[in-house]
Structure 1
């Protein structure tokens, strides 16, 4: 699939309750549903833990993607570093895939974390061993595989790291 150039600006914003109606059309291809959470259940989990922070990926005025930044309570499984933050539930809605939004959002992520979570010095994530497309996007964005493996809900996950 050929990528099209970004026409609108990509930005990262904390999810707000008024964003809920804008998530109604959010969809993922069936094959991706096994690897990530949809935004609504991920937001519900954020309401149960105060160190989970839902983030929307804006493309112009539209919500093109979503993820959660999870503090020590989530990151501890992925890194012994107490200053690590976990990137989880990352996705780009179907109609926005292939436009370079994922790469741009991940390029913006380190500065976003530094600004809003200044005590953090590492971003970690788990990616399923079968999810080759996501592995490629994360590694292209600068995440590094240091060889750590964990068992997730859908099998083996590679733990990827980005130092800030």
Structure 2
């Protein structure tokens, strides 16, 4: 069920086989201002069947994590029912600097097309102070069309990527 992207980066829906490895998941101090570790996020996913947790694998080892969220999440930021929301994106601090974020975000397009073929757009919300993440998202094809929302930690930029 995983999607091979390069020799080293793949995406796969979360399953319990990844749980033990995700227990040893660390975020940098900067990342922890904006993101949660996967095990915290998985608790929320259990309560909402429109949240699809995805593991980023680097040479078969869990290196990152994100959630794809259906309409319940999208409607907070967009009225496009053909969109899916990318949320809770992070890369384990041990794996940063290897191009995993860039490769996984490029892989996201084909992953969404394969498993959510009815979706025509991916959206995400990024904190206005999280300039590193903004840069990575924009380099991966996400566009800032000027949509803004307020979040619990400040202003959010809503970025979009058409599929």
TM-score of the two chains, using structure 1 as the length reference: 0.94
Q: d(CA) in 2 for partners of 1:65 and 1:145?
A: 24
Root-mean-square deviation over aligned CA pairs: 1.1
Residue 66 of structure 1 corresponds to: 65
Q: d(CA) in 1 for partners of 2:65 and 2:98?
A: 15
Task: Report the 3-state secondary structure (helix = DSSP H, G, I; strand = E; otherwise coil) of the residue aligned with 1:126.
Answer: strand
Q: d(CA) in 1 for partners of 2:66 and 2:77?
A: 17
- Offset of residue 8 of structure 1: 5.2
- Offset of residue 96 of structure 1: 0.5
Q: d(CA) in 2 for partners of 1:52 and 1:95?
A: 26
Residues 77-86 or 133-142, more deviating = 77-86
Match status 1:118 vs 2:90: no
* Alignment map for 1:7-156 (pairs within 5 Å): 9-156=8-155
Give 5+ residue unaligned stretches, structure 2. 1-5
TM-score of the two chains, using structure 2 as the length reference: 0.94
Moved runs in structure 1, 4+ residues, more than 2 A?
A: none
Residue 3 of structure 2 corresponds to: none
Q: d(CA) in 1 for partners of 2:16 and 2:24?
A: 16
Deviations for 1:70-99, whole angstroms, at most 9, x for unmatched residues? Answer: 000001111110011000000000011111
Q: Residue 23 of structure 2 contacts residue 39 of structure 2 at CA under 8 Å; is this kept in 1?
A: no
Give 5+ residue unaligned stretches, structure 1. 1-6
**Paired residue total:** 158
Residue 3 of structure 1 corresponds to: none
Q: d(CA) in 2 for partners of 1:153 and 1:93?
A: 23
- Offset of residue 106 of structure 1: 0.3
